[in-house]
Structure 1
Amino acid sequence: MNPLLVCVVIFAVVAVLTWAVTARRGSSAWLDRLWSILPIVYAWVFAGAAGLGDARLNLLAVLATAWGVRLTFNYARKGGFRRGAEDYRWGTVRQKLTPAQWVVFHALFISVYQQALLLLLILPAWTAYEHRTPLGVLDWILAAIFMLLLVGEGTADGQQWRFQQRKHAAATAGKPLTEGFISTGLFRYSRHPNLFCEILMWWVFYAIGAAAVGPLLSWTIIGTVLLTAQSFGSTVMAESLSGAKYPAYAAYRARTSRLVPWPPRA
C-alpha cells in the first residue's frame, strides 16, 4: 500500500480519537503524549514500504526515532504521562476563550492542525521514497549535525530539569531561589536553546530528504516552515507568562538572545 496513504489514515484515526478523548475528559494531554511518538511511526512506515532496503529512508527513520526517544524521556520525567497532566499553555488558552471557542480551537487547531503538522514534518521521507538515491558525504554530514543538535537539545532540557528540581526543593524548604527561571548554562546564551536545536533538527531532516532529488527545495518543506513559525509563536506566549510572573525576566530578555546562542549583552 502507498505509505503516504497509510500515514494519512493513521493521522485521521489519531485525530478523531484525540478529539474524542479530549472532548470527554477536558484535557489535551494526549496530543502532547503522542507528539514524540507519531513521527517515529510515520518515518518507519515509509522505510518499511521500501522493505527497509533504502539507506536514506532508514537513516531518516533512525533520526526520527532518536529524536522521539529523547523527547519522550524528557516528557516522561516531567510527569507528562501522569493522569491529568497537561501542557500549561493549553490551560492558558482555554481560560482566554469561551467554551464554544475552545471547542472550535480544540477541534481545528489541536486535533487536526497539530496532528497534521507531525505528518508534514516527516514528508521529506516521501521525497526520499519517490526518488531512491544513495547516500552521499553531504547526507552523513547532515546526519552528524542532526545528532549534535540532538545532544544540544538534550543538554538544555537536562539543565532546565535540574534547575526546576532545585527550584522545587528550595521552595519546599522555604528558601525560594532569587530567580524563578533558568539563566545559566546554555540558557546564558539563548533564552530557548532547546527550541533552537529543535527547529534546526527538522531543517536538517528536511534537507536529507530533499537531497534525494538534488535541489534542496521541495514542497515538503511546508512542515518545517510551519513548525518554525509555530515555535516563534510559542516563545511569545511563554515569555509573556514568564515576564508577568518574574520581574527579573525583563532584564534577562534584554541581555540574552532569543533563539540563536550568542554571548550575552552587557
Structure 2
Amino acid sequence: MGPLVICLIVCGCIAAACWLLSVLTHEHSWVDRIWSIAPVAYVWIFAASTGLADARLVLMAVLVTLWGARLTFNFARKGGYAPGGEDYRWGYLRDRMPRWAFPLFNVFFIAAYQNALILLICLPALTVVEAAPSPLGLADVLVALLFLALLVGETIADEQQWRFHQAKAARAATGGASEPRFLTTGLFRYSRHPNFFFEQAQWWAFYLFAVTATGAWLHPTVAGAVLLTALFIGSTWMTEKISRERYPEYAEYQKTTSAIVPLPPRAAAVRVTN
C-alpha cells in the first residue's frame, strides 16, 4: 500500500475511535486529544515511504514532531488528557443545539471532519513524495527557520496564557481580586489570539515545502491550510462570543486589539482592568 492509503486507513480508525469514545464517556474532546499526535504519525509515514532517503521529508517530519511535542505538553498541563477534560466550547454548543442535532454534529463534524482535516494539513508531504527527488536548498532552510520561529511564537503565547491563568487561579484560591479577568499583556497586547495566529501560520509554512520541492506555488494539498484557517475563523468567533458573555468589558479589548494577526494596538495603551 502507498503512504496515502495507509494514512487514510489510520485516519478512519482514529475517527471511529474518537466517535466511539465520545459515546462511551460522554466527552467530546477525543479529537482534541489526538490533534497533536496524529500529524506526527502521518508525516513520518510519508517520510518512511521513501526509506527516510528524502531529506526534505525527514526535515518536515522532525519539524512536525517538535510541533506535536510542544502542543501535547501544553494540552496535558491544562488537563486536556484528564477525565472530564472536555473543551468548554463543546459543552457550550451542546447546550444550545437541539437534542437530536448534537449527536449528528459529533459524528460528522467533531469525529469525521476534524480527523479528515488533521490528515489534510499533512498532505503537503504527499506532494513532496510525488515530486521529483531534489536536495535540500536555501529555500528549505528558510522555510524551516520560519516554521521554528512560528513555533517559538506559539510557545511564548501559550506560556504567557498559562502563567496568567495560574496567577488568576492562585488569587481566587486566596480570595484575592479577580482582576485582570483575561490576558491583555505580552503578545496578547498585539493580538487577542496570538496562539491561533502562530498555529495556523505554521501549517502554511509547512505547505511551503511542497513549493520548494516542486517549484510551483499552487497544489491541491494547500486545501489543508485553507480549511484549517476556516476552522479557526469559526473557532475564534465562538471563543469571542463566549468571552463577551462572561466579560462584558471584553468588547473594549476587541476595539483596541487585532483579532488574530499581531498588530500595534489601536490605542496608546491597553488597560489591564478587564
What is the TM-score normalised by the length of structure 2? 0.95
Q: Which residue of 2 aligns with 1:163?
A: 164
Q: State the 1:17 CA deviation.
A: 1.2
The CA distance in 1 between the partners of 2:18 and 2:242, in whole Å, is: 27
Q: State the 1:143 CA deviation.
A: 0.5
Q: State the 1:212 CA deviation.
A: 1.3
Instruction: Give the number of the structure whose residues are more often helix, by fraction.
Output: 1
The CA distance in 2 between the partners of 1:177 and 1:94, in whole Å, is: 28
The CA distance in 2 between the partners of 1:21 and 1:197, in whole Å, is: 30
Q: State the 1:116 CA deviation.
A: 0.2
Any idea what the Cα deviations from partners look like across 1:197-241, whole Å, max 9, x if unmatched? 111110000011232111111000001000001111111111111
- Confirm or deny: 8 A CA contact 1:149 1:200 kept in the other structure: yes
Q: Which residue of 1 aligns with 2:271?
A: none
Q: Which residue of 2 aligns with 1:139?
A: 140
Structure 2: runs of 5+ lacking an equivalent: 268-274
Any idea what the Cα deviations from partners look like across 1:30-61, whole Å, max 9, x if unmatched? 21110000000000000011101101110110
- Confirm or deny: 8 A CA contact 1:60 1:209 kept in the other structure: no
Q: State the 1:85 CA deviation.
A: 0.9
Q: State the 1:107 CA deviation.
A: 0.3
Any idea what the Cα deviations from partners look like across 1:106-137, whole Å, max 9, x if unmatched? 00001100000000000000000011222210
Q: Which residue of 2 aligns with 1:180?
A: 181
Q: State the 1:25 CA deviation.
A: 1.6
Q: Which residue of 1 aligns with 2:66?
A: 66
User: Which one-letter code corresponds to 2:205 in the other structure?
Assistant: V
Q: Does 1:224 align with 2:225?
A: yes
Q: Does 1:12 align with 2:15?
A: no
Q: State the 1:95 CA deviation.
A: 0.8
SS in 2 for 1:176: coil
What is the TM-score normalised by the length of structure 1? 0.98
Q: Does 1:92 align with 2:84?
A: no
Q: State the 1:12 CA deviation.
A: 0.7
- Confirm or deny: 8 A CA contact 1:56 1:209 kept in the other structure: no
The CA distance in 2 between the partners of 1:255 and 1:93, in whole Å, is: 28
- Taking only the aligned residue pairs, the percentage that are identical comes to 50
Q: Which residue of 1 aligns with 2:261?
A: 260
User: Which one-letter code corresponds to 1:35 in the other structure?
Assistant: W
User: Which one-letter code corresponds to 1:149 in the other structure?
Assistant: L
User: Which one-letter code corresponds to 2:137 in the other structure?
Assistant: G
The CA distance in 2 between the partners of 1:134 and 1:118, in whole Å, is: 27
Q: Does 1:105 align with 2:87?
A: no
User: Which one-letter code corresponds to 2:49 in the other structure?
Assistant: A
The CA distance in 2 between the partners of 1:129 and 1:164, in whole Å, is: 43
Size of the aligned set, in residue pairs, is: 266
Q: Which residue of 1 aligns with 2:82?
A: 82
User: Which one-letter code corresponds to 1:52 in the other structure?
Assistant: L
Q: State the 1:176 CA deviation.
A: 2.8
Residue range with higher mean Cα deviation, 230-239 or 205-214: 205-214
- Confirm or deny: 8 A CA contact 1:243 1:250 kept in the other structure: yes
RMSD over equivalenced CA pairs, Å: 0.9
Q: State the 1:18 CA deviation.
A: 1.0
User: Which one-letter code corresponds to 1:192 in the other structure?
Assistant: H
